[in-house]
């Protein structure tokens, strides 16, 4: 039996993780959860799964909560750190969304346990901090972002990455497939949130619509697989069936395929020696019509920023991530049009102020400063 601590339990990834646990109750047990404000969803999970520990990040929600005698409730960062390091916890799922997940991901990376990593923003902003800490503490990081889990599975059984020639990261293209940025000025938030293949949290769904998600994933992949950016190609694959492809030096290309369902990478990452069964939707190979197309040329500038970040490392990723988070939030709140998301990122990134100090404090500082800068750009656009 493996005890799972699910950080970000009330979100979309949280829901998929709970489904995998529910279908494998002989092997998996939910020992603890964390969330921010969604008390009603949190209460539902407690009623269904009886976790022993519940971390509520938001202080007023923590104070308002309904107590269950069966759980210990916690709120402070040191209590969260103790829970992450608790001897009963075997697997930590990092499924908090955005930069807010960095603190917990950093603690998890230091734990020496197995981490299932969904929170790509923590790697983009803090890759140079988190990966070395994980290595030092022998923490095993298994990606559950579908593309990265696919790459992980395609590399399985190989000695390392020396024989890898190329890694192709696939992108669905999102709801605005085949539409140029100039055609997207007046799209609504609801249109941008209507992803054709995946049902995800709002932030990552907007990132998919802008394709900034793929740029974040390029940086995430560079860190997780320790390969230079020039190994990675981004390719649009609208059906979201092939989740990524690894081409080896002998000409073999290996891909991982499944219906678009986050429970597939999660079940793989949760497994030990044997795979875990889930009620997946089978692919009908006789009716599959798979297509691929180039990454849109009008997103080359944003892709180039991601490649620059891969090459420079340091705290450049934290700037990119914070600028994007403010841009996305401003679009969702109706402050800027969809096409201005790129402008906020470009202009904030141009004014970047980067230190080479890779401590968690310094990354938090850069995140905070960048948010202030990005908000100024948003203001200048709205005025
Ligand atoms: P959601 O917005 O659906 O869920 C986010 C979770 O994080 C919720 O449990 C939320 O709690 C919690 N949370 C938010 N802010 C804080 C905070 N400050 N402190 C503690 N907890 C917090 O996001 P997703 O599940 O869609 O995404 C999670 C991560 O996984 C993201 O990094 C995303 O990029 C990545 N990912 C998601 C995919 C998907 O299919 N959804 C696919 C691939 C990657 P509350 O509900 O209380 O606010
Ligand atoms: Mg992904």
How much is the pLDDT for 157? 67
Which residue's alpha carbon is at the smallest distance from atom 32 of ligand 1?
119
Cβ(220) – ligand 1 distance below 6 Å: no
How much is the pLDDT for 249? 96
How much is the pLDDT for 36? 96
Alpha-carbon distances, residue 320 vs 105, 218, 239 (angstroms): 19, 13, 28
Q: Cβ distance 246 to 167 under 8 Å?
A: yes
Cβ(264) – ligand 1 distance below 6 Å: no
Cβ(96) – ligand 1 distance below 6 Å: yes
Q: Domain residue spans in the chain?
A: 2-143, 145-309, 314-383
How much is the pLDDT for 352? 83
- Averages of pLDDT over runs of 10 residues in the chain (383 residues) are 98 98 97 96 95 95 80 94 98 98 98 98 97 97 97 85 96 96 96 92 96 98 96 98 97 97 97 92 96 97 97 92 98 97 96 86 96 97 84
CA of 208 to the centre of ligand 2 (A): 9
How much is the pLDDT for 160? 81
Q: Give the CATH class of 2-143.
A: alpha beta
Ligand 1 atom having least distance to the Cα of 100:
18
CB burial readout 262-299, b (16+ within 10 A) else e: bbbbbbbbbbeeeebebeeeeeeeeeeeeeeeebbeeb
Q: Which CATH number fits domain 314-383: 1.10.1740.10, 1.10.3300.10, 3.40.50.300, 3.40.50.2300?
A: 1.10.1740.10
How much is the pLDDT for 356? 83
Ligand 1 atom having least distance to the Cα of 145:
43
How much is the pLDDT for 28? 97
Alpha-carbon distances, residue 66 vs 77, 83, 320, 327 (angstroms): 21, 20, 39, 35
CA of 268 to the centre of ligand 2 (A): 15
Cβ(324) – ligand 1 distance below 6 Å: no
């Amino acid at each position: 039996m493996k005890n799972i601590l699910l950080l970000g339990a009330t979100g979309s990834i949280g829901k998929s993780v709970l489904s995998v646990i529910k279908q494998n109750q002989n092997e998996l047990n939910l020992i603890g959860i964390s969330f921010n404000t969604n008390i009603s969803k949190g209460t539902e999970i407690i009623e269904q799964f009886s976790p022993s520990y519940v971390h509520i990040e938001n202080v007023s929600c923590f104070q308002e909560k309904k107590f269950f005698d069966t759980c210990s409730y916690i709120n402070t960062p040191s209590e969260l750190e103790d829970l992450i390091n608790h001897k009963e916890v075997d697997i930590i799922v990092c499924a908090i969304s955005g930069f807010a997940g960095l603190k917990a991901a950093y603690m998890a990376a230091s734990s020496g346990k197995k981490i299932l990593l969904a929170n790509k923003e923590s790697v983009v902003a803090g890759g140079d901090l988190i990966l070395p800490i994980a290595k030092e503490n022998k923490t095993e990081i298994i990606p559950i972002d579908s593309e990265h889990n696919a790459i992980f599975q395609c590399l399985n059984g190989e000695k390392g990455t020396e024989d890898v020639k190329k890694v192709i990261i696939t992108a669905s293209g999102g709801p605005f497939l085949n539409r140029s940025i100039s055609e997207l000025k007046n799209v609504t938030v609801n249109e941008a949130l209507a992803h054709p293949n995946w049902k995800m949290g709002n932030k990552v769904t907007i990132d998919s619509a802008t394709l900034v998600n793929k740029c974040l994933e390029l940086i995430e992949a560079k860190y997780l697989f320790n390969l230079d950016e020039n190994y990675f190609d981004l390719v649009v694959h609208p059906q979201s069936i092939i989740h990524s492809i690894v081409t080896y030096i002998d000409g073999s290309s290996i891909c991982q395929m499944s219906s678009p369902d986050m429970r597939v990478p999660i079940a793989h990452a949760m497994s030990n020696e044997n795979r875990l069964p889930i009620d997946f939707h089978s692919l009908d190979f006789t009716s599959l019509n798979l297509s691929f197309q180039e990454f849109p040329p009008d997103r080359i500038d944003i892709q180039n920023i991601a490649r620059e970040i891969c090459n420079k490392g340091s705290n450049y990723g934290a700037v990119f991530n914070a600028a994007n988070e403010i841009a996305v939030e401003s679009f969702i709140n109706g402050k800027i049009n969809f096409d201005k998301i790129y402008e906020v990122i470009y202009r904030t990134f141009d004014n970047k102020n980067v230190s080479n100090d890779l401590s968690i404090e310094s990354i938090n500082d850069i995140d905070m400063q960048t948010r202030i800068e990005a908000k100024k750009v948003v203001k200048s656009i709205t005025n």
